[in-house]
Every structure is written in C-alpha cells, then in structure tokens.
Amino acid sequence: MSDLICVGAVAGSFGVRGEIRLKSFCAIPDEIEDYSPLTDEAGTASYSLTLTRAIKGGFAAHLSGVETKEQADAIKGLRLFVARDRMPSLPDDEYYHADLIGLEVYDTGGALLGTVKTVLNHGASDLLELHGPGLKSTVLLPFTLAAVPTVDLEKGRIIADPPEGLF
C-alpha cells in the first residue's frame, strides 16, 4: 500500500489569472480542499489549494505557486496526493482504489485469475479491471459482495467467485 493517495488532478488552466481546472477524485468532490496542502506523486512539492467555484467537470481553483495561465497550462496532468494518515478510516467493507490496484485475484478454488490493473466506476458499482498471462483480453469483474467475497489487504489478494462465463 502506498503512503500517498491520489485525490485529484490538474486538467489545465481556467481563465487568464492562474486558476486551474481541477478534477477531484474524492467521494464528496469539494472535500479535496480539506486535504490541502497536497503534494506531487514523489511527495517533494507541496501545494496549497483553494477552490474558487464549481465548473463543468470539476472545479476552478487556485494552487500555490501558479500565478499565470501559462504556469497553469504547464502543470496540466499533475496528479495531487495526500498522505494516507490524513485520510479518514474506512468501514470494513470499503477500500481505497489505490489499495486494490496490483492485488492478485484468485478464484474460490485457488487458481490465479489475474491482477487488478485499475478500478472503474460507471454508475451502479465498481468494476475491477483484471489483466494476466492467461487472459486474452481485459476482464471486468464486478466489485460486489457476490462476485468478490474476500479482500485480504494484508496478504495482498482478492478471492473472487466470478459470474458464469466471465472467464
């Protein structure tokens, strides 16, 4: 598990006064401001964040050290992180996506199905995108209690009971 959790990303500039377009990955999007200051992926640069207003697809915001449109354009794609110990504790049946990525997925008989590449959310529930040597293409496993009865973060594995015909 990583010590940093990605909570947002810079999507470009907004206007000409150094504001950025910000995508929030928080469950309650405007709570990203509560985690300020944020860091880059390496944890070396620190940024104070102030949301200015909601815009289509995210927020307009001020990021410390960004004063011009050109500076905002230059950091497009910058992912913003917060230290794990500053994040709220989750109930037993909830997980940060960062904790699931990279886990090996086994079926109930102990056979390796693949590794979680990413977690997707398209509305109703999350999907685990699985990749592996025995898979010809990506497999999307529903992240439901029926399909994924066990997530063992300590052992770094997931036990799955996939729907018929998925593999």
Mean pLDDT of the chain: 90
The rounded distance, in Å, linking the Cα atoms of 6 and 84 is 10
Q: Which residue has the higher pLDDT, 70 or 122?
A: 70
Question: Over 60: is that where the pLDDT of 1 sits?
Answer: no
As a whole number, mean pLDDT of residues 48-73 equals 94
pLDDT at 91: 83
Does position 107 have pLDDT exceeding 80, yes or no? yes
Q: Could you give all domains of the chain from N- to C-terminal order, each with its CATH number?
A: 4-86 (2.40.30.60), 97-160 (2.30.30.240)
Listed range (18-22, 92-96, 99-103, 116-120) with the worst mean pLDDT? 92-96
pLDDT for the residue 2: 64
Q: Give the dihedral sign, CA 11/12/14/20.
A: positive
Is the C-alpha dihedral spanning 7, 131, 95, 86 positive or negative?
A: negative
